[in-house]
Amino acid sequence: MRSKWTTKDLGDIAEVTKLAGFEFTKYIEYTKEGEIIALRALNLRNGKLDLTDIKRIHRNVSDSLVRSKLYINDILLTYTGNGYGDCAIISENDKYHLAPNICKITPNAELVDAYYLYAYVRSYLFYQQMTSHIVGSGQPTIPMKTLRILSVPIPNIETQQKISSIISAFDEKIELNNKINENLEQQAQAIFKSWFVDFEPWGGVCPEDWEQGCLLDIADYLNGLAMQKYRPLDNEVGMPVLKIKELRRGSCDDSSDLCSSSIKSEYIINNGDVIFSWSGSLLVDFWCGGTCGLNQHLFKVTSNKYDKWFYYSWTEFHLERFIAVAADKATTMGHIKRDELKKAEVLIPSERDYAKIGGLLEPIYEMIISNKIENFRLSSLRDTLLPKLMSGEIDVSDIQI
């Protein structure tokens, strides 16, 4: 049990390294033809790799910087910036290389199971340790020498492997749901394009009885509140605040701000609501991370006339253009103005065609939302179990994996 466990410094059970600044400026040059993906802080999200926006380097450059090459079971961690604490684990050799602002943690296989260490680095327990040692205000950072002395609970290897098996079972189911949702989203986009862009059912011509409008004609885009003005009242527990960070992650946690639960009901977000981040990281998604309050810089998208599949699909359709507009206007943080919603054209089908298309798209998005809600529950259960497993509160010795 817990009394038999030890606690070790991270640097005693793993090698912690980063790409030196001079190495990056002197040797690394991004190139579209590069064979190796250079992983940056934005490529770590929700405990896994996000390869939506990647940079590449040539293999010979990666081979010349051996200390910052990445191999199977290397753990990546963002140690600086507002996204510090994001992490991922490498599952392939000869594919990735470190870029600035993230470090790699290479576990000593004789002392610690790689997935066990990854699960702990991803946990809120480790994040709390990091937060207590952060220095700097504009660019929060934890120095490497400090990171190496953060403590890790270390049971025997057999116990570590059992804990890894339990946690990885949750992760595998979550990942399966994510892959299913990716496939469903691709299907939905293909159907949308077929009907609303290519007009395939009508031989490539838009039906004459369809109407033209804009996003503001089909949905209401409610901007959130400046939640620092709506803190929990005395003796009130409050509820989490949905900001861009939480939207990107898909959930709130103990680090999320709190607001009063007495805010107006229209600013309260529930599972399945469509949220559009119009500032900073522009994205539109179905929120499935529990009840929370809507912060400014986010739109809650609703409609009294049209269904969720319709206004979500059209908002997503224009997202790429919105991102380009925000990038052109960016000074400190790119954003779009409400006028852009008015410029965003939509097609409104006849009642009969609307029902046909909805019959195809609505079940797909209902399944996506259902899977996202299940993932939220699985993640919550996993994160609740993890500290109990790692503290010895739950004895895994009799658990058969």
Question: Average model confidence (pLDDT) for the chain?
Answer: 92
Range of the domain at 312: 211-348
381 found inside a domain:
no
Does 321 lie in the same domain as 230? yes
Last residue of a domain, one of 348, 366, 395: 348
80 found inside a domain:
yes
pLDDT for the residue 1? 41
Last residue of a domain, one of 154, 171, 196: 154
pLDDT, tens only, 21-49: 667 777 788 999 999 999 999 899 889 99
Does 285 lie in the same domain as 147? no
137 found inside a domain:
yes
280 found inside a domain:
yes
Does 100 lie in the same domain as 8? yes
pLDDT, tens only, 121-152: 999 899 999 999 999 877 889 999 999 999 99
CATH assignment of the domain containing 329 = 3.90.220.20
pLDDT, tens only, 320-329: 999 888 887 6
Structural domain count, the chain:
2
Task: Give the predicted TM-score (pTM) of the model.
Answer: 0.87
Does 148 lie in the same domain as 45? yes
Residues 6+ apart with CB under 8 A from 50: 42, 43, 44
pLDDT, tens only, 206-255: 999 999 999 999 999 999 999 999 999 888 989 999 998 899 889 998 88
pLDDT for the residue 2? 45
Does 130 lie in the same domain as 232? no
16 found inside a domain:
yes
322 found inside a domain:
yes
284 found inside a domain:
yes
Does 18 lie in the same domain as 110? yes
pLDDT, tens only, 51-99: 988 999 999 999 988 889 999 999 999 999 878 899 999 999 999 999 9
Does 105 lie in the same domain as 22? yes
pLDDT for the residue 3? 44
pLDDT at 271 over 90: yes
382 found inside a domain:
no
Does 219 lie in the same domain as 141? no
Last residue of a domain, one of 154, 185, 201: 154
pLDDT for the residue 398? 66
pLDDT, tens only, 155-213: 999 999 999 999 999 999 999 999 999 999 999 999 999 999 999 999 999 999 999 99
* Banded model confidence at residue 315, pLDDT cuts 50, 70, 90: very high
Does 7 lie in the same domain as 105? yes
> Cα dihedral sign for 318, 323, 329, 335?
positive
Does 215 lie in the same domain as 104? no
